[in-house]
Amino acid sequence: MQKFLKGLLFITVVQFSLIAQTGYQDLMNQGDQALNKRPPDIMTARLKYLEARDLEKNNPEAYIKIAITFIYSKDERSANYNLDEGLKLFGEGGSNMKAIFTYYKGMVKEFVPPDTKDTVKIKKHFLEAISFYLKSLEYLEVPSFTWNNFEFSKVNVYNDAGRVYMMINDADNAKKYFNMCLAELGNNRQNSYYSISHFGLAQINKYLGLTDSAIINFNKVLEIDPSNLTALSDLYGLYFDAGDYENGFIVVDRIDSMTTLKYNDLIGRKDASKDSLQYVANILYNTKMEKGHLKFNSKLYDESLKYYAEAYPFKKNKKLVELIRKMSILSDMAKKGWMPCVKDAKFVTNGNEYFFYSPSELKINQDSSITATLKSIITADVDLNMVNVFQPEPDATAPDKIDKVLNSKYGSNEYNWTVVCGKSTYTQNFEKKFDPSGKETTKPAGAKSVEKTAANESFELDLLKYLCRAAGI
């Protein structure tokens, strides 16, 4: 009978243990489901994890999960309390789970920022995060340990250290740890931390003005992730700032092609939201405008207008119509060899008359006077000094097509002057007038040479000064 009771007691203990274990895992799973919702149900997840912990107080997993819910809530004190309680389960020496707990102490510091504007305290706070990250490696007993679908090793720890150093503007240490991460990876380019570390290095080198190095790093990212829009955009900015319009165009064309495919896919879907379509349309508008600017800077004027026209349907707007009219005038004048006459980075104007000069016809005479040919465009309501428009709001009253805009014609005047630099007097050798069709309407007096004096603060005086600067005098 006594043996029977002992056997029954043993079976009861085992069954109770199994029931408790099953209840623990069910509660943990329910907590995970709540935490994985979008947005996460933090309170439900925390309650489930707390119930699970009460069932098995010696199981460290629940302590970490409870701490995670407090990280979501930005509650540093409660997160650390639960991690510290969990760490009490471990003795001295190494342990893979002890390494994970210590790592999460670093996550608390990184993802729960300090409530202060004191830069010294902020830096100290994030340095503590790095300290916990690196300390965790001291407890790791294997090269790589996976917990909760998270692979923990030197690779991710070095990357995290690099990221946090970058957050506190410590470029040297950030580069050091990103490079240590890459060294650990060796030839394993498929690991996500390969592109993440190169992206970090690219951002640091860009910040430091090391353009060539930043370009190399961004291209490393794009070798693995060719559709990384952020890397493409940053790479384009580097090429543009360096005046490398050819490579800049290649990059922005990739963005354009990639985004066009996305836009066409959305257009063909009934469930596509209006906001999604507008977001992608905005990217297409900007990329096509950038392509236009690049071609204009490369003096490929017809191509530049083509891309401006391609941008228009994605954001029909009267301001953009005005911009395209402006660019069509500038393109036409540039193709013919006319360059703007400017003062303080703006056109020299006389009302709606905008002045250009011909560098090929600017000559210094033997008596040190200058002979120059000027041409003006009478633009009516087109402001050639307007700033380029990248993101105007759509306008329902804007025209659907802009063919007529691209083919607009304007009246013009042509002048030939002889100038003595430093003097306000000059000789107008001739004046010619043309109507918008190009027909000459010059009066007989325009063919005669006339002595003139430019008044103070007049457009004529601005032109005299500009021509002397253009001649190098």
> 230 pLDDT band (50/70/90 cuts)?
very high
What does residue 173 show for φ and ψ, rounded to 5 degrees? -70, -35
The reported pLDDT for the residue numbered 370 is: 95
Least confident of 10-19, 28-37, 233-242: 10-19
What does each C-alpha distance from 457 to 296, 317, 460 come to in angstroms?
A: 32, 36, 8
Q: What is the pLDDT of residue 401?
A: 80
Q: What is the pLDDT at residue 331?
A: 85
Mode of pairing for the β-strands spanning 363-364 and 370-378: antiparallel
Average pLDDT over residues 15-21: 47
pLDDT reading at 6 higher than 60: no
Query: Over the chain, what is the mean pLDDT?
Result: 90
Evaluate if residue 292 carries a pLDDT over 50: yes
Residues 325 and 385: beta-carbon distance below 8 Å: no
Helices (H), 2-95: 2-35, 42-55, 60-72, 76-87
Check residue 307 and give its pLDDT: 92
- Convert the pLDDT of each residue in 181-203 to its tens digit: 999 999 899 999 999 999 999 99
Read off the pLDDT of residues 374-387 as tens digits, 9 standing for 90 and up: 999 998 888 898 76
Chain segment 121-160, per-residue pLDDT in tens: 999 999 999 999 999 999 999 999 999 888 999 999 999 9
DSSP 336: T
Q: Write the DSSP string, 222-264.
A: HHH-TT-HHHHHHHHHHHHHTT-HHHHHHHHHHHHHHHHHHHH
Q: Across residues 72-98, what is the average pLDDT?
A: 95
- pLDDT score at 22: 61
- What is the C-alpha to C-alpha distance for residues 334 and 340, in angstroms, rounded to an integer? 9
Name the helix (H) or strand (E) containing 437.
Answer: none
**Of the candidates 122, 191, 140, 182, the residue with the CA atom closest to the CA atom of residue 158:** 182
